[in-house]
């Protein structure tokens, strides 16, 4: 029998999309306030955060195209944001060792200080996430991974450096319910609560192999904790 609320309610997927949209709006507002304190627009603050996360010691300084890809904005929009950051003395360019004709983006000393302020997550978001129980946080992280991978597969966002698309990821390699997965890079077991969304050591799998790993991750393994 169809429950009354099945006919009264909007489809579940629509309400979920609506809720996620509200969360996104709250996040943008929080980032706007953080950036404002430094005189940055949200796009400039996000560009600063990308340059900080992707660059640093031992890594290639990110190019403008990479910033645009990570922010899911057009190249001219990213170019405007980076040019503003250069004018403010927060970002500089340096030759890219991978290509003599290209340049990489690095933070200045002042840019590093600004990135730790403006690039941080708004306290209200961190506090709200911390209010969830450890089990809820772990479950939500797994769902967020699924959502990011789904958006990535639809070409809606740039590829993220996820464990689940990494060459080193061995889902359900162990019988330990708390740490069923294995990272071949670190050579250590880990659990869903450790899944990374932006791992610098991530080595992306080709699509066909990534599908096999994803199927294994979502189906789980005997003796391991059941997948969501
Ligand atoms: S290298 Fe990073 S992304 Fe890859 S499995 Fe290990 S922790 Fe995850």
Q: How far apart are CA 198 and CA 161, in angstroms?
A: 4
Q: Which atom of ligand 1 is nearest to the CA of 161?
A: 3
Q: Which pLDDT score is estimated for 226?
A: 43
Q: Which pLDDT score is estimated for 208?
A: 93
Residue 168, both tokens: 């080193």
Q: Which pLDDT score is estimated for 59?
A: 76
Query: How far apart are the CA of 202 and the centre of ligand 1, in A?
Result: 5
Q: Which pLDDT score is estimated for 1?
A: 60
Q: Is the CB of 190 under 6 A from ligand 1?
A: no
Q: What is the pTM of this model?
A: 0.76
Indicate which residue's Cα is closest to atom 6 of ligand 1.
Answer: 183
Residue 16 binned pLDDT confidence (cut-offs 50, 70, 90): very high
Q: How far apart are CA 143 and CA 165, in angstroms?
A: 15
Q: Is the CB of 163 under 6 A from ligand 1?
A: yes
Q: Which pLDDT score is estimated for 84?
A: 95
Q: Is the CB of 183 under 6 A from ligand 1?
A: yes
CATH architecture of 13-118: Orthogonal Bundle (1.10)
Query: How far apart are the CA of 142 and the centre of ligand 1, in A?
Result: 15
| Mean per-residue pLDDT over the chain, rounded | 86
Comparing 58-62, 118-122, 152-156, which segment has the lowest mean pLDDT? 118-122
Nearest of 31, 54, 55 to residue 44 by alpha carbon: 31
Query: How far apart are the CA of 79 and the centre of ligand 1, in A?
Result: 31
Reply yes or no on whether the pLDDT at 168 is more than 70: yes
Q: How far apart are CA 149 and CA 202, in angstroms?
A: 14
Q: How far apart are CA 184 and CA 203, in angstroms?
A: 11
pLDDT (average), residues 201-221: 91
Residue 120 binned pLDDT confidence (cut-offs 50, 70, 90): low
CB-CB contact of 214 with 227 (8 Å): no
Reply yes or no on whether the pLDDT at 34 is more than 70: no
Reply yes or no on whether the pLDDT at 166 is more than 60: yes
pLDDT (average), residues 72-82: 91
Higher pLDDT, 64 or 102: 64
Residue 227 binned pLDDT confidence (cut-offs 50, 70, 90): very low
Higher pLDDT, 116 or 169: 169
Domain ranges of the chain: 13-118, 132-219
């Amino acid at each position: 029998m169809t429950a009354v609320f099945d006919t009264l309610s909007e489809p579940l997927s629509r309400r979920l999309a609506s809720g996620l949209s509200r969360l996104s709006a709250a996040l943008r507002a929080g980032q706007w306030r953080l950036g404002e304190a430094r005189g940055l627009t949200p796009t400039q603050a996000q560009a600063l955060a990308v340059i900080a996360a992707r660059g640093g010691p031992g890594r290639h300084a990110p190019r403008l195209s990479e910033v645009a890809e990570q922010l899911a904005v057009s190249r001219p929009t990213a170019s405007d944001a980076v040019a503003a950051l250069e004018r403010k003395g927060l970002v500089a360019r340096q030759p890219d060792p991978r290509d003599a004709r290209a340049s990489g983006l690095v933070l200045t000393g002042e840019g590093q200080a600004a990135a730790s302020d403006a690039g941080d997550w708004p306290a209200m978001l961190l506090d709200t996430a911390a209010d969830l129980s450890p089990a809820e946080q772990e479950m939500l992280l797994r769902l967020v991974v699924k959502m990011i991978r789904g958006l990535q597969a639809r070409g809606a966002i740039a590829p993220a450096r996820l464990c689940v698309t990494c060459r080193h990821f061995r889902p359900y390699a162990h019988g330990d319910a708390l740490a069923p997965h294995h990272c071949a890079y670190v050579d250590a077991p880990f659990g869903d609560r450790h899944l990374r969304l932006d791992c610098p050591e991530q080595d992306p799998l080709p699509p066909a192999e990534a599908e096999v790993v994803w199927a294994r991750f979502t189906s789980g393994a005997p003796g391991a904790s059941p997948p969501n």
